[in-house]
Each structure stands twice: as structure tokens, then as C-alpha cells.
A and B are shown apart, each in its own frame.
Chain A
Amino acid sequence: MLGDAVIMPITSLYLGMHIPDGFLSFPVSLGTWVMSIALIAMALGRVRRDYSERAVPLMGVCAAFIFAAQMINFPIPGGTSGHLLGGTLAGVLLGPWAGSLVMAVVFIVQAVLFQDGGLTVLGANIFNMGLIGTFGGYYLYKAIRMVVGFNSWRGMAISVAIAAWTSVVVASLFCALELVFSGTVPLQIAISAMLFWHIIIGIGEALITVFAISYIWRTRIDLIYDPPRRFPSTLKRS
């Protein structure tokens, strides 16, 4: 195709923390597939049991927003860029269970339709960029919010920011370790290189996540999975 040569350099820009086919060994790919499938199966069960049908449209909108936001790479100093991962955003908004389903959908669409992130390493990508945020990010946010102030915006903003930043840094650590266990790179340099960039990229994650949550907090606070105590929860089954 004539256009391919022109388009090629553009497509390679969108890799993100998305691992392509070829970077991970078979055992590492398989292990991360098993973890992701187990957590998604558990999430399906909990969504079926605990969620109200009112959560359905929010799942669609949340997935669409995170897909769109992941397309927008923001530049960071040093000639690198980053983009939102969105796991913590999905977890805070929809809870860890529906949030995990939403993140899995985003990475499946990216890999299947747009060749972004390898199909053989999709389990690793869903785990790193999705489930670390929807589970790790969610429970960290909830613990901090309990301490700083569960019902105040201040408590919400601080806990969301810390959880979002941490989820990106932890995701980059997991990604580095997967590369190390696959024999792709040596331990020391993989971890320092991945951490170096993602400590900065995580600030972008925190800013975008707090901004998105602040909009919902002001307009439809009942659509947050854990609303302040004076508001009824719309997403959970009554």
C-alpha cells in the first residue's frame, strides 16, 4: 500500500506502556494471562451479583473516555511522552469490579482493532495498566480517603491523586519485572529506566484522574462507587 510508508511512523508513537508481541517470554505471558483471566472472572461474578443496572451506561461512557484519553500522549521533559492509563479512574468511579471489566474492554479493543499492544501479551497489558489500577489503585485510594476525610472533596482529591500516581509507578515496576523475567533486559537498568520516566508520567495520571473525578463529584456525585455518606449509591444494587 502506498500510504503505509507515510502512516508507519505515526502508528509506532502510540505504544505507550503497551507491551508489543516479542518482548515477553512464553512463561511470563502465560502467567500474566492466568492472573488477568482469574481477576476478570471474579469481577464478572461480583458485577452480576452486586451492581445495579444503572451502572451499565456509566461503564460504556467510562470505557469510551479512557480509550479516547489514552490516545492523547502528553509530552514530558526529556523528549519522552506519556498518556493516561485510567485504571484508578475506572476503579474509583465504578468500583474495582465493573472498573476491571471496563479496562479489559479498552485493552482488547486497542489490541484487536488497532494493533496497539500485542495479542499474545494482552494478559500482561490488562494486568499492568488496568488491574493494578482498578484493584491496587482502588484499595489504596479507599484507605487514604478513610484517613484524610471520606466525605470531603479534600480527602477525595488527595487520595485519588496519590493512588493514581502510585498505580502508574507500580505498573511500570511490574512491566520492568516482566521484561527482566523474560530475559529481555537486566534487572537493575530495567527498573531504574522504567521508574525514571513513570515517576513523571504518574503526575499526569494524577492530574487527569483528579480532574475527571472532580467533574463527576460536582455534577453527579451519586455515580461515584463510594459516594460521601449523605448520598445514596446509584451503582450498587439496592
Chain B
Amino acid sequence: MNNPNNRLFFLTGLLAALVISVFLSPFASTNPDGLDRVSEDLKFNHKEADNPPAKQLPFSHIFDGYALKGVPENLATPVAGLLGTLATFGVAWGIGKLTIPKSNDSP
């Protein structure tokens, strides 16, 4: 990681993910996707819980699905994408860091 080439590579990767989640997310298809479509066609979409447990979490005051609450509609999804991508990056990095012992790389 101290190698500048490494740093550049990983920064490029993270930047690509941020560009996708911020600038491409508004262009995502609004068609129902696979399971949605099947649940509509086979008429079991009503079984979806109206008030699922995730809506009781404090985060549901901040996000309504992939939309930040309280900001203009055209910003809500890009900002949610930005924050979600950074959160995912941080959690996965942290789990890797906590799991892999430093001694694994000492000869």
C-alpha cells in the first residue's frame, strides 16, 4: 500500500465506483427488475412487509431507499450513492484490516 503505484490504482478504482454511483445512478432503468416483475406478474407483491424492520432503524430518518431525505429530488439519489459507496468501501476495508493479521506478511 505504501507503493505509490498501488495507491494510484486503488484510488482510481474507488473513484470509478464513486463516478458510477453519483453520475450514472440517475440514468438507471426505472423498469421493475427480475424479482419485482415476477412478483407483479404472479401477484405476490402484496406480501412485501409494509413496515419492515429496516424502517425502524435510525438510518431510515436519513435515507428513503437510495434517496437522501430533505434534499432536492435530483440530488437525493446521487448523494445516497456517494455515501453508500464510501460506507461500503470503509466497512469492507475495516473487516479486511481486522481479519488479516499483520504477521501474515512477515517472512
Interface residues of A (CB under 8 A from B): 1, 3-4, 6-8, 10-23, 44, 47-48, 51-69, 71-76, 79-83, 98, 101-102, 105-106, 108-116, 118-120, 172, 175, 179, 184-185, 189-190, 193-194, 197-198, 201, 219-220, 223, 237-238
The 9 sampled A-B contact pairs (Cβ below 8 Å) are: A6-B73, A7-B64, A8-B64, A19-B35, A53-B100, A63-B89, A79-B31, A114-B59, A194-B34
Contact A194 B35 (CB under 8 A): yes
Choose from A64, A74, A111 the contact partner of B29 (Cβ within 8 Å).
A74
B32 at the interface (CB under 8 A from A): yes
Contact B49 A73 (CB under 8 A): no
**Chain A residues near B81 (CB-CB < 8 A):** 68, 71
Contact A21 B48 (CB under 8 A): yes
Interface residues of B (CB under 8 A from A): 1, 6, 9-10, 13-14, 16-18, 20-21, 24-25, 27-39, 41-42, 44, 47-49, 52-55, 57, 59-60, 63-67, 69-70, 73, 76-77, 80-81, 83-93, 95-97, 99-102, 104-105, 107
Contact A118 B17 (CB under 8 A): no
**Chain A residues near B53 (CB-CB < 8 A):** 21, 118-120
Contact B34 A201 (CB under 8 A): yes
Q: How far does the Cβ of B84 sit from chain A's closest Cβ, in whole Å?
A: 6
Given contacts A13-B28, A52-B104, A106-B88, 10 further A-B contacts (CB under 8 A): A10-B65, A14-B66, A63-B88, A71-B66, A73-B28, A79-B37, A109-B88, A114-B65, A119-B53, A184-B44
